[in-house]
Amino acid sequence: MKTYTVRQGDTLQFISMRFFGTFIRWPELWHANREVIERAQQCEACRLRNMTGPDWIFPGTVLTIPTAKQ
């Protein structure tokens, strides 16, 4: 199982391109890591600034990279 630690400036689309070779597979990353991403968004500052949803990922969050489609 591969993991990736989010860095400043990363997006799910960028990470999808890095691991899958295409931007369009970012929803797979979101679904595989939804709980981790949502947990990172639980800080009070994030909620106050409406920084929630699949387009908000934060440096230091460790994502699991799903295996490639067959």
Digit-coded pLDDT (tens) for 1-55: 899 999 999 999 999 999 999 999 999 999 999 999 988 888 766 666 776 666 7
Domain ranges for the chain, please list them. Answer: 2-65
Is residue 30 a contact partner of residue 61, using CB atoms and an 8 Å limit?
A: no
Q: What CA–CA distance (Å, rounded) separates 43 from 49?
A: 10
What percentage of the chain's residues is helix, strand, coil (to nearest 5)?
45, 10, 45
CATH of 2-65, one of 3.50.50.60, 3.90.950.20, 3.10.20.30, 3.10.350.10: 3.10.350.10
Three-state SS annotation for 18-41: HHHCCHHHHHHHHHHHHHHHHHHC
